[in-house]
Amino acid sequence: MYRIQPVQKPSFIEAFLLTVAIIAVISASIIFLDAAPHVPLAIVLLALVLYGLMKNVSYKILEGGIVEGAKSGMGAVFIFFFIGILVASWMLGGTIPTLVYAGFNLVTPNFYYVVVFVVTSFIGFFIGSSLTTIATVGVAFISISGAVDVSLAITAGAIVSGALFSDKMSPISDTTNMASTTLNVDLFTHIRNMMWTTVPAFIVTLIIFAIISPQLQNANFEQMKHFQAGLLDTGLIHWTNAVIPLAVLFICSIIRMPAILTLAAGSLSAIILSFINGSTSIQHLFDVLMGGFVSDTGVEQIDSLLTRGGIESMLFTIGIILLALSMGGLLFLLGIIPTLLESIEHLLRKTYQVITASALTAIAVNVLIGEQYLSILLTGETYQNQYEKVGLANKNLSRVAEDAGTVINPLVPWSVIGVFTATTLDVSTLAYLPFSFFCLISPILTVFFGYTGWTLTYNSSSDTENGLTK
């Protein structure tokens, strides 16, 4: 049974054409008009309402479908508010600046691409944003690579691999929280389950970069030193600023404290440090928690890195979540998705078939629409019932949505992250795509584990005994 029961059953041709039209409107708006996803989503939402009225579905029922669809995202909305608070407080308390400074200390001339990948992953994990990681740490490494005459395409591939590792695994990443909350999976349960595919992908990527890394014994790393000097000038760099909030977050994670309380505890520790260091006041604190931390060092790259966070920074993502889930609610209510699923249901009788289909759907949404968030949301909403039928726990689907949804976006030339990365690093998407090893390996592993059954979690032992899951 679907979470939202359909009130009608369109023909397959009708459902297919409506789906194609929806994809065309959203993808054309994002790709050719460079529109924010919110506008085409709102247009499609209105079009679905009009379609429902033409089918004699009352507006009250349609409104109920919209509300029911959006309701599943309310957990994510509250978590995103606290993510914005955490990032702002970690900037204000010096946590993220200190971690970035420490990350650059790891850079050595040997195994250069490995260092780029590891440092980008490390710093990005605590920033929680692939775009910010690429725009700051990524730009610094691209500049270094240009100065020492090593491949910009491979450097960009290492940057993208590290940034998307962090985007997928960081507890303050919006995609990580979106995947877990959309499917009602505990945040840290989701992260732990993703380690089964992420750790092997990380290790294989590490080995490949180690093999192809050049030796840069005479390299000039002045730009990195300039970056570090600028960070020191902020007065936010101190080991306690990083260790204490990280320890709080780690302890809360170990004892499995709910995500919102964990984020709140991590934020509070950084806020206390900011008062101890004398870097804020009550009024300034409230301004930062709402509008984000604003850096004014005068160094563009540093200001770009440190100016972020706050509740307002999450409103863009929250808007996408509510509009996309509302659209999904209508797609189920009007029988469009159920009809399409019924047409291929005979092909989704086994575990590996369901996992492969959901992974391909996540990839297809990225390719057709170019939107990371919609890939996660639509894949989760569409296949949740199919996973239940074959006895798979929701955390399997949330993992697939990230393995094949989150990490694929930067590899699409017209996608949000793809366009941003190519423009920011001045390296074309097709140039760095073959070297974005982590992004290429992750969906392969998730499908492979689907075929083998390794690391999969079932709802009950009885489910694994029936013919559906073999």
Q: What is the pLDDT of residues 102-125, one digit of tens each?
A: 877 776 777 889 989 998 998 888
d(CA 428, CA 371): 18
Phi and psi torsions of 2, nearest 5°: -80, 155
pLDDT greater at residue 268 or residue 324:
268
Give the number of domains in the chain. Answer: 1
Measured between alpha carbons, how far is residue 358 from residues 86, 117, 222 in Å? 32, 28, 46
Please write the tens of the pLDDT for every residue from 115-167: 899 989 988 887 777 877 887 678 778 867 775 678 999 999 999 999 999 98
d(CA 460, CA 169): 27
Confirm whether 53 is domain-assigned: no
Classify the phi-psi angles of 344: left when phi > 0, otherwise alpha if psi is within -120 to 50, otherwise beta: alpha
Token pair for 42: 């709102």
Q: CA-based angle 375:365:309, to the nearest 5?
A: 35
| pLDDT value, residue 38 | 87
Cβ distance 420 to 426 under 8 Å? no
Rounded mean pLDDT, 208-225 = 74
Confirm whether 383 is domain-assigned: no
Confirm whether 63 is domain-assigned: no
pLDDT greater at residue 173 or residue 446:
446
What's the pLDDT band for 67 if we cut at 50, 70, 90? very high
Q: Which of 173, 181, 199 is nearest to 397 (CA)?
A: 181
Q: What is the pTM of this model?
A: 0.74
pLDDT of residue 270 exceeding 50: yes
Q: CA-based angle 164:80:156, to the nearest 5?
A: 15
Confirm whether 424 is domain-assigned: no
Rounded mean pLDDT, 288-293 = 93
Confirm whether 387 is domain-assigned: no
Helix (H) or strand (E) run with residue 9 in it: none
Please write the tens of the pLDDT for every residue from 3-52: 788 899 999 999 999 989 998 898 888 878 878 888 998 999 999 999 99
| pLDDT value, residue 218 | 55
State whether residue 277 is helix, strand or coil: coil
| pLDDT value, residue 100 | 76
Confirm whether 60 is domain-assigned: no
pLDDT of residue 469 exceeding 50: no
State whether residue 416 is helix, strand or coil: helix
Confirm whether 186 is domain-assigned: yes
Least confident piece of the model among 159-168, 352-361, 382-391, 399-408: 382-391
Please write the tens of the pLDDT for every residue from 429-439: 889 999 999 99
Domain that holds residue 302: 75-314
Measured between alpha carbons, how far is residue 281 from residues 110, 276, 300, 365 in Å? 44, 11, 26, 45
Rounded mean pLDDT, 239-260 = 82
Confirm whether 281 is domain-assigned: yes
Contacts by 148-153 with C-beta closer than 8 Å and gap 24+?
148/216, 148/219, 148/220, 150/112, 150/214, 150/216, 152/425, 152/426, 152/427, 152/431, 153/427, 153/431, 153/432, 153/434, 153/435
Rounded mean pLDDT, 302-312 = 83
Measured between alpha carbons, how far is residue 224 from residues 134, 145, 162, 250, 451 in Å? 15, 11, 18, 29, 44
